């Protein structure tokens, strides 16, 4: 199976909130990489019991060989999907403006 290029992905958490991130490390997309979302922010939304059985969904939204294109698309998708809106997602940047 061919390795994916650099990617923008969306994580969907059990509460329906999302996180949009990119993977431009090393030699391309890593199946094991799930971003750099703020653990404290996410954990505050779940009980200890809920954290014991926790499932994330990871979707690849965009892929390219061009890291700069991936960076631009990540920002565009964060804004388009409003994953930086605390009611919708966990992205902290860019700062959400209603």
Instruction: Give the model confidence (pLDDT) of 46-77 as tens digits.
Output: 999 999 999 999 999 999 999 999 999 999 99
pLDDT of residue 98: 82
Domain residue ranges in the chain: 6-81
Question: Edge to edge, what strands does the sheet with 18-23 contain?
Answer: 18-23, 6-12, 57-64
Averaged pLDDT, 8-33? 88
Averaged pLDDT, 12-21? 97
Is the peptide bond between 94 and the residue preceding it cis, with omega within 30 degrees of 0?
yes
Which residues neighbour 86 within 8 Å (Cβ) at sequence distance 6 or greater? 96
């Amino acid at each position: 199976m061919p390795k994916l290029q650099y990617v923008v992905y969306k994580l969907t958490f059990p509460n329906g909130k999302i996180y949009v991130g990119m993977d431009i490390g090393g030699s391309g997309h890593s199946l094991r990489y799930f971003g750099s979302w703020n653990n404290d922010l996410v954990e505050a939304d779940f009980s200890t019991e809920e954290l014991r059985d926790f499932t994330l969904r990871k979707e690849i939204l965009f892929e390219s060989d061009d890291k700069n294109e991936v960076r631009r698309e990540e920002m565009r998708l964060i804004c388009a999907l409003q994953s930086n809106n605390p009611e919708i997602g966990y992205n902290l940047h860019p700062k959400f403006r209603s």
